[in-house]
Structure 1
Amino acid sequence: MRRLLPAFGAAMALAAFVSPAAFAADPVPEIQRSGSVPAQPAGSVHTLRQIPEACARLEGAFTGQAAEPYKFAVVRSSPNCQPRARFVDAAKARPSEAAGWKFNDVIRVPSAVCPQQQAVVRVWRKPAAVAPPELDAQGRARLYLQDEKARAEAAKLAAVPMFAASMTIEGKACGG
């Protein structure tokens, strides 16, 4: 499994095993998937979804272990990518429609080894009104360091879109 983005760490892995009852009444996701994800064998790392604006990729793998049946990670897609959105820890952000988040996607991945068990990844998106900088006298959009430092000190920086993802295991465990 690849390295998690620095903002996540071990808290993301521990927060991934939330009770399925907490998501019993999921809203309708923005992305409607046609067809199902093929069953994945144990030990096979697979990409669940790419989020280019956050320079991130969601990866997962069934482990074949009862204690931790599925490993889930948010991986940086490229070291040169400049993100236009942030990925935040879902356990800390607690995304909900009441807090301005949009339920973006739900991905269900069945296990090839244990067909009655599946990993369910829920992706949330918090939009932000991002406007390009005003054009200067030469018709170019420019940001000046001293102006941006002053905005940062005054806490008047523009909001950045955010994404959060959580993972649960649903179904009965095999061989137990």
Structure 2
Amino acid sequence: MINNVVLVGRLTRDPDLRYTSNGSAVATFTLAVNRNFTNQSGEREADFVNCVIWRKSAETLANYAKKGTLLGVTGRIQTRNYENQQGQKVYVTEVVCENFQLLESRNASEQRSQQSAGGFNDFSQQGQQTQQQSSFGKSQNQGNSMPNFDRDSDPFGGSEQIDISDDDLPF
């Protein structure tokens, strides 16, 4: 049987780090993952996926990832159930993460958090601002910024014409 999950999304809040009675670290978080299509009104929707990560990875995630961080995770889907205080059976489906990757630089993360200063992040506006500041994904004032992988950006927009002789072409 195969049970593999790969997700890329943004954290909806800071990871919640706790420790079990035997001392194992466990962090829970929710990833907002954009859908690949738009709804009838032309807006993109997102799925909010509950995730859990254990041990050293949980501590590392809690130390380095904050609300809004672009995060890639791999893991598996797990379902469980329990009885709540009212005696009702509650079913939970979550992704148990085995590995994660921070997908933006610390500078980009800090810049985004300064721009959002206290309000809800509009990531589409932030992507447009990044596109306006960049030339082929490189910020003009920072040489080490991440490329702009926004689905609506033109990777060749704003670039100058490339001078290639016919001798350099492989065909």
Question: What range is the shorter-chain TM-score in?
Answer: under 0.3
Give the TM-score taking structure 1 as reference length: 0.22
Higher fraction of strand: 2
State TM-score, norm by structure 2.
0.22
User: Which one has a bigger Cα radius of gyration?
Assistant: 2
Q: Which has the higher contact order (CA 8 A, sep 6+)?
A: 1
